[in-house]
Chain A
Amino acid sequence: MIKIKNLHANIDGKEILKGINLEVKAGEVHAIMGPNGSGKSTLSSVLAGREEFEVTEGSVEFDGKDLLDLAPEDRAREGLFLAFQYPIEIPGVSNINFLKTAINEKRAYLNQEPVSAKEFLGMVKEKSALVELDAKLANRSVNEGFSGGEKKRNEIFQMAMLTPKLAILDETDSGLDIDALRIVANGVNKLKSPNNATIVITHYQRLLDYIIPDFVHVLYDGKIVKSGSKDLALELEEKGYDWIKNESPL
């Protein structure tokens, strides 16, 4: 699904990613863990296409296409989804209107018919139930006045509506209480299929109790320094990131 090879990226001339290698196949869940400042969010930003980051070396192949060559919207239309760590509030733009626009732009890109009003409303009803998102929130302005938990649920709701091939969840667990965490994780698990894949970026092991990863990678100083099974997350939780730092040859 996605092949990241020797990815290097800068912001303001400072190198943050220093050669990431990662392959995620359909049906898999990968967790990327790492201490603050290790480059986790940079990785998700670079993959989603944030302009502030400059890729200086390496390649990313997404479903056979050169991902780095695509505009952010085309990456989304090809099936990439980023659940934001800090979802943006957009006053005046209704959640529903924006999602309909997004779905139809994606469909137009894929040479598909626009979604019918009936079909769309059916989707909204079904998908908002998936993350226990109040239907009223779906009609409100994007994230405006949403609580932290509602914002994160809204991210997963959007993910459900857009049915991506690859979802990247950037610190989706941050700021969530245990109930919200369970709801969000439950939503993600229900959306899992043999045809899609998920990358879970997190600082803590906690989320991985709910979303069970097939692989765990540890990011440190812009590189993946360790990979393993889900047990690696537990080991990290127990030993702390210093363990990795000390092991790291830097």
Chain B
Amino acid sequence: MENINTTIATSEKKDKFLEVLSTLDFTTENPTFLQHRITSQNELNELDFPTSKTEYWKYTRVGKIVNNTYTLGQPEKIDVSDFLIPNLDAQVLVIINGHVVADLSDFTSVDGVTLTSLSHAKKQNFEGLKKHFNQFTQDKKEIFLAFNNAFHTDGIYLEVAKNKIIEKPLHIINITTGNNTISQSRNLFLANVGSQVKIIESFVNVNGEKNFNNHVSELIISENAIMEYNKIQDKKETNFSIVTEQVYQEANSNFTINTATFNGALVRNNLNIEVDASNCETNLNGLYLGKNKDHIDNHTVVDHKKPHCNSNEIYRGVLDNESTGVFNGKVFVRPNAQKTNAFQQNNNILLTDNATVNSKPELEIYADDVKCSHGSTTGQIDEEAIFYLQSRGISKKGALKLMINAFAKDALERISIEALQAYIDNKIEERFI
């Protein structure tokens, strides 16, 4: 009986979501892409919001998100200057509530680079988009992903031509506004053979509480290409985000993702990296800083399918007050993937007795000639070290700051954009004043 009741309750919640989202009009969309939406809408019939019994969501209850009643977020014009990164020369693109706002963006066209809104790219029916859109996000049996597949509004389409090296980083400012708004932004980044690109995406909020952004990015790194994707999540402690990255790596490619999460009532990152060819390098690093009642969850999957690849993963968390951190990192090494080197580590510092971390590093290895390691630590700041620093004249606060900074900064040292590194270091420092 109880099970049936739960099912009814969650499907009612789903219906409420569908009711709001189905007012979006996609009838003018290119039929190829419209068909994707319809497929995913059908898929949604079979899916329900996760409960405490859903393994994938074991440590993150989505009640806060799914019990809320939303209205659709609308495009707006707002001042984005606060979100620019000092001393960074970048192409700036602005998404507001799932809509690309061209007036606020600041970019010049560059030879060999297609940079536009996803909706425009769909109209143009670009080859790269047609080939890769929804290629790895369909049929994953994940309700939030399916919602985005079916009802995403807009986002950024980036395609870098063969052998093109983009000097200027791309900075996407992805903003939510308003109380109880829902938005579903969507990006696709395609680095063609031999190309190189660096992307920054800031997920931020202006005014408003309890808004929910369900974002998906698809990232395709072709042969010999290099992509660095840096993600800053700073939407304040009143808003909800679920972000899914679906990454696909081809031979000899190099992909780095750095995720810095500074707060959030509920943040869930689903990072799925498929390494489907040899000689790839993958770096996935994260830092999460929780305070008050923040809840920050990182689920990562690196799927090594072919031999001779390296992956390095470091996620670090500092949890203050009553905040919660979740780390679940899975590394698969398939039977074919001999000579894989996979390294995974999660370290956490709890600043109070009421802060919590659930850390679950997982390795599933089906090949026999591999080097894999994983580890997880959770502890408190070493009081002896604090005293040592104090005995040299550093205040207790200063000592704490020095130690937390060292711990936190270490996780994101792979950021190659100096201005961004300084910006993030500064944000970490501000946090622990």
| Chain A contact residues, CB within 8 Å of chain B | 48-51, 71-73, 75-77, 81-82, 84, 87-94, 97-99, 101-103, 105-106, 109, 141-142, 158, 162
Contact = CB atoms under 8 A, between A and B. Distances in A.
Interface stretch (B45-53, B301-309, B403-411): B403-411
A102 B394 CA distance: 5
A109 to B, nearest CB: 7
A29 B402 CA distance: 34
26 contacts: A49-B391, A71-B390, A73-B396, A75-B391, A76-B390, A81-B391, A82-B391, A87-B388, A88-B382, A88-B384, A90-B403, A92-B406, A92-B409, A92-B410, A93-B403, A97-B402, A98-B394, A99-B392, A101-B394, A102-B393, A105-B394, A105-B398, A109-B393, A141-B406, A158-B392, A162-B393
A73 B389 CA distance: 8
Contacts of B102: none
B385 A88 contact: yes
Interface string B272-313: 000000000000000000000000000000000000000000
Nearest to B399: A73
Contact of B392 (A71, A76, A94): A76
Q: How large is the interface on B (under 10, 10 to 19, 20 to 34, 35 or more residues)?
A: 20 to 34
A82 B402 CA distance: 20
Contacts of B409: 92
A105 B401 CA distance: 13
Contacts of B406: 90-94, 141
A168 to B, nearest CB: 10
A48 B391 contact: yes
Contacts of B394: 73, 98, 101-102, 105
B345 to A, nearest CB: 13
B354 interface: no
A92 B385 CA distance: 12
B30 interface: no
Nearest to A106: B393
B395 interface: yes
Contact of A93 (B384, B390, B393, B402): B402
A84 B388 contact: yes
A165 to B, nearest CB: 13
A199 to B, nearest CB: 15
Contact of A77 (B387, B389, B393): B393
B403 A92 contact: yes
Given A90-B403, A93-B403, A102 B382 contact: no
B282 to A, nearest CB: 24
B389 A98 contact: yes
Contacts of B385: 88-90
B403 A73 contact: no
A69 to B, nearest CB: 15
B390 A72 contact: yes
For B384, B389, B410, which residue has the most chain A Cβ atoms within 10 angstroms? Answer: B389
B388 A73 contact: no
Interface in B371-397: 382, 384-385, 387-396
Contacts of B407: 92
Interface in B190-237: none
For A51, A77, A105, which residue has the most chain B Cβ atoms within 10 angstroms? Answer: A105
B395 A73 contact: yes
A151 to B, nearest CB: 11
A90 to B, nearest CB: 5
Going nearest first, the 4 A-B pairs with the smallest beta carbon separation are A92-B406, A76-B393, A72-B390, A88-B388
Contacts of B387: 50-51, 72, 88
A162 B387 CA distance: 16
A106 B390 CA distance: 11
Contacts of A49: 390-391
Contacts of B395: 71, 73, 105
B391 A71 contact: no
A84 B385 CA distance: 12
A97 B388 CA distance: 15
A73 B393 contact: yes
For B384, B403, B406, B407, which residue has the most chain A Cβ atoms within 10 angstroms? Answer: B406
Contacts of A106: 393
B28 to A, nearest CB: 54
Nearest to A82: B391
A209 to B, nearest CB: 28
For B388, B402, B407, which residue has the most chain A Cβ atoms within 10 angstroms? Answer: B388
A90 B388 contact: yes
Nearest to B388: A88
A76 B396 CA distance: 12
A81 B393 CA distance: 9
A77 B402 CA distance: 18
A77 B390 CA distance: 10
Given A73-B391, A106-B393, 6 more contacts: A48-B391, A73-B396, A76-B393, A81-B391, A89-B385, A105-B398
Contacts of B384: 88
B178 to A, nearest CB: 40
Contacts of A77: 393
For B392, B394, B403, B407, which residue has the most chain A Cβ atoms within 10 angstroms? Answer: B392
A1 B409 CA distance: 42
A106 B393 CA distance: 6
A12 to B, nearest CB: 16
For B384, B395, B396, B407, which residue has the most chain A Cβ atoms within 10 angstroms? Answer: B395
A89 to B, nearest CB: 8
Contacts of B388: 84, 87-88, 90, 142
